[in-house]
Amino acid sequence: MYTKKIEEDLNCGVRVAMKVFGGKWKCCILDAISQGISRPADISRVITDASPRVIEMHLAELLFFCAVEKDTDEVYPKRSEYRLTALGRTILPVIAHLEEWGQTNMEFVKDRQAVLDERMVIGMHAEMD
């Protein structure tokens, strides 16, 4: 049986929240579902930077932690739809605050990212010399 070498500390609220809702695309997925986008293929069309496989993996984790529920049609082809649970809805105000923060600081972050990208290119050229 697999045991982790370093035990997770789930006695910290931030770590617990990150365990359930952390991940590059989970908040975007939850936001999409809250807006009525319930099928994985439709979520993939909205979140174009994430592969369908990654979206499926994040949905499986959200399902495991009861943040979403899954309905599957019994007809062929099977279609799955997701909806938020009561637990999943509790994170929506936090996601709304993250969206507001992102909108407020968007230009600053874009500018800093451009500087970082430039440094990365310069660093790559320096390594080649």
Class of domain 1-88: mainly alpha
- Would the pLDDT of 1 be above 60? yes
User: What pLDDT digit, counting tens, does each position of 46-74 carry?
Assistant: 999 999 999 999 999 999 999 999 998 77
The residue among 126 and 122 whose pLDDT is bigger is 122
At 118, the amino acid letter reads: E
Distance CA 125, CA 119 (A): 10
Distance CA 58, CA 54 (A): 6
Average pLDDT, the chain: 91
Global pTM exceeds 0.85? no
Mean pLDDT of 114-123: 84
Please return the burial class of 62, using the count of CB atoms within 10 Å of its CB with bins 0-12, 13-18 and 19+.
buried
Domain ranges of the chain: 1-88, 91-129
